[in-house]
Amino acid sequence: MNREFTNLLVSLQDDLAHPDMWWQFVVLLVCLLFAKVLERVVRTRNGAAASQSFGEGGVRRLMFPLTAMLLIFVARAVLRDFHPVSLLSIAIPLLGSMALIRAVFFILRVSFASALWLASFERVFAFLAWSVVALHIVGVLPQVIAVMEDLSFSVGRQKLNLWIVAQGLTTVVTTLLAALWVGRAIEVRLQRAQGLDANLRLVFARVVRSLLALVAVLVSLPLVGIDLTTLSVFGGALGVGLGFGLQKIASNYVSGFIILLDRSIRIGNVISVAGERGEVTRITTRYTVLRGMTGVEVIVPNEVLVGSVVENESLSDHRVRLALPVQVAYGTDLERALALLEAAAAGDPRVLADPPPQSLVLAFADSGINLEIGFWIADPEAGSGLLRSRINLAIWHAFKNAGVEIPFPQREVRLLNA
């Protein structure tokens, strides 16, 4: 195989001196431009929805290299009897390797859809992989490896070179991807376990993924000849960093595992902490996301949840008591006013019938008598603002129809010796 490509390189060098060499450049450029234009047309026509499906997204990624390779293959067959085609012969395997690498990375991206870093560095990884394959195809890779081996340095007692480091990075990335894939499969299996608490499923999934990633690093580095004892210096530096600069981050991670293990806060709970109130929509090992009743999401560090008083409205019982203060004028029939309050609250569909709404006489104030209507709801995650407004409006109409006066602050001024 390498001998064939070596012969192609020799033929390409001979073709460079041929006066008709420019025909190959023109044909190659036309094929690449046509394939690129076709890819752009298909991408514009299908839009972003195509990237969500496995088949259409894969076709879009492979369209450029496969189309260009097909066009160059046809052009080489046509020009072979009239002009040298060494450049076109080299372009075909390069485009084929590009198509294969794009297909592999597309499968990885679909398999690790939650790994945002893979989507961000996909082009970089694909370019590096294709560069290595291209260097191997054209037969230049051994010379590049020799240059990288000459660039050596020492870390402690371990002597390394650039080629060993590159091999180590490649092995680590490969084993990490395999570990993440296995961890993802285990996580999917744990999510289907109905008899296990949701928090425990999340903890087990993340512990398994972390252990697999650690094992992948510990196994991959010795495979390329890197002694793990050379990492002790970095481990000590990391420990110092955790003790000082990363103390808060480490505390948040430990607090996250505590929250997930003791199950005091779960997804779907409505909690209040540090002046924020909302429904728990996501729990990670570093922070917890609260979605407020206005739709605003608040990111609360897990350390705050562990070290502060948290009001959980739906920890063991989703039923929550709400109360509305009302003031009536002196001289009002209190028994009738209390009955009107209870009827106004009971008429709302969100108010529970058991226990029933209950009205109370709280105090005799300056301008009137303070009353309170208390009622229970079973869905605090739906919010209470609109519910309070509806019941207050119902009380207003009931008092107005019954002639019950809601007083306002008044002051009586008496003039002595007028």
Distance CA 119, CA 114 (A): 9
38 in Cβ contact with 63 (< 8 Å): yes
pLDDT (0 to 100) of residue 54: 46
Strand-strand pairing, 158-161 and 152-155: antiparallel
* Chain centre distance of CA 275: 26
Q: Which residue has the tokens 């959980």?
A: 312
Residues of the chain with pLDDT under 50: 1-2, 48-55
Instruction: For the chain, give the number of residues.
Output: 418
Name the phi and psi angles at 133, rounded to 5. -65, -40
Q: Provide the H-helix boundaries in 121-161.
A: 122-138, 141-150
Name the phi and psi angles at 358, rounded to 5. -135, 130
Beta bridge partners of 278: 271
Instruction: Please state at what angle helix 54-79 crosses helix 86-111, rounded to 10 degrees.
Output: 170
394 in Cβ contact with 347 (< 8 Å): yes
298 in Cβ contact with 310 (< 8 Å): no
Q: Which residue has the tokens 């890197």?
A: 226
Distance CA 71, CA 336 (A): 90
Going from the C-alpha of 53 to that of each of 50, 79, 100, 110, 114, the distances in angstroms are 6, 39, 19, 10, 16
Q: Which amino acid is at 180?
A: L
Q: Print burial letters for 79-103: b (CB count within 10 Å at least 16), e (below 16).
A: beeebbbbbbbbbbbbbbbbbebbe
- Evaluated on CA atoms 8, 13, 17, 19, the torsion sign reads positive
Q: In the chain, what are the domains?
A: 2-139 (no CATH), 162-245 (no CATH), 266-312 (2.30.30.60), 320-402 (3.30.70.100)
Distance CA 95, CA 71 (A): 11
Q: Residue 167 has which token pair?
A: 């091999």
Peptide bond before 355: cis, by omega within 30 degrees of 0?
Answer: yes
Distance CA 271, CA 283 (A): 13
Instruction: Read off the pTM.
Output: 0.47
Distance CA 100, CA 95 (A): 9
Distance CA 260, CA 267 (A): 10
Could you give the count of Cα atoms lying within 13 Å of 22 in the half-sphere of its Cβ? 1
pLDDT (0 to 100) of residue 199: 62
pLDDT (0 to 100) of residue 52: 46
Distance CA 220, CA 224 (A): 7
pLDDT (0 to 100) of residue 7: 52
